[in-house]
Amino acid sequence: MGDIFDTHSHYNDSAFDSDREELLGSLFAGGLCAAVNQGTDVPSSEWGIEYSKKYKGMYAAVGLHPECLSENSFEDLKVIKKLAGFPKVVAIGEIGLDYYYDIPRELQKDIFIRQLELADELSLPVNIHDRDAHGDTLEILRKYKPKGILHCFSGSTEMALEVVKLGMYIGFGGVITFKNARKTVEAARAVPLENIVLETDCPYLSPVPNRGKRNDSSNIIYTAQTIAEIKGLSTEEILKATKSNAERVYNVSI
Ligand code: NI
């Protein structure tokens, strides 16, 4: 134990308001060695930095999520740039494209690309959200070649392998344990273990057997079990390998 590295979490979410300190205390005292809180806007990015001071294992990613864009986003980018310089900020995230919601696509692409350029300028990895936008995401990744993680992977095996070829990591979470996740299982089978990291996206996307309940980093064990079955390895081996992958991509040493 002690090998759970949650590369993508949202502990600032109001779902944790009633018991956040108790929960984080018990997670970090248990199997969780590190959690990266993803920023979706300026306040959640600031939150991650504040909490990274409170807990040794807490790290922050700062960024603007495609669902959180507005006419203020260009101003917000300046704040994100400043926040990115704080200690324990390990990535620009959560950034990317979301075509499920009706958010102007040109604005999404513009803000996404500016954040990729910022990450490059600051030599930081990125954490990327891609929902129903595989074509444009891949096109942008090919062009800008960022370092980092494509989170909550939902694309094809072919796309996963191309992302890996670009030198990126694939984040798998609770979805891989769902009954209808055949495509994701096939992608995980094809992606080399050296390119896989684990995540929750908590409070969302709890794995089976806790599907539908509030998610937290302890549930990563179920995702690791599923990947262990796919890869023919033990759960411990998966946790160990993905922890060391996460340390490599986020440039931290736990
Ligand atoms: Ni997320």
pLDDT tens-digit series, residues 180-224? 999 999 999 999 999 999 999 999 999 999 999 999 999 999 999
- Cα 141 to middle of ligand 1, angstroms: 19
pLDDT tens-digit series, residues 232-241? 999 999 999 9
- Cα 9 to middle of ligand 1, angstroms: 6
Residue 141: pLDDT above 90? yes
pLDDT of residue 190: 98
Q: Any residues with CB less than 8 A from the CB of 199 and at least 6 apart, and which?
A: 6, 7, 8, 9, 149, 151, 152, 171, 172, 173, 220
pLDDT tens-digit series, residues 148-173? 999 999 889 999 999 999 999 999 99
pLDDT tens-digit series, residues 65-96? 999 999 899 999 999 999 999 999 999 999 99
Whole-model pTM? 0.97
- Cα 60 to middle of ligand 1, angstroms: 13
- Cα 150 to middle of ligand 1, angstroms: 11
Task: Determine the angle formed by the axes of helices 134-144 and 157-165, rounding to 10 degrees.
Answer: 10
Q: Which residues of 92-107 are buried (b: 16+ CB within 10 A; e: fewer)?
A: bbbbbbbbeeeeeeee
pLDDT of residue 114: 98
Residue 137: pLDDT above 60? yes
pLDDT of residue 223: 98
pLDDT of residue 220: 98
- Cα 129 to middle of ligand 1, angstroms: 7
- Cα 131 to middle of ligand 1, angstroms: 11
Reported confidence tier of residue 179, pLDDT bands at 50, 70, 90? very high
DSSP per position, 177-221:
GSTT-HHHHHHHHHS-GGGEEE---BTS-PPTTSTTSPP-GGGHH
Please list all protein residues whose beta carbon sits less than 5 angstroms from ligand 1, which is an ion.
94, 201
Residue 1: pLDDT above 60? no
- Cα 174 to middle of ligand 1, angstroms: 12
Residue 55: pLDDT above 60? yes
pLDDT of residue 154: 87
pLDDT of residue 2: 81
- Cα 175 to middle of ligand 1, angstroms: 13
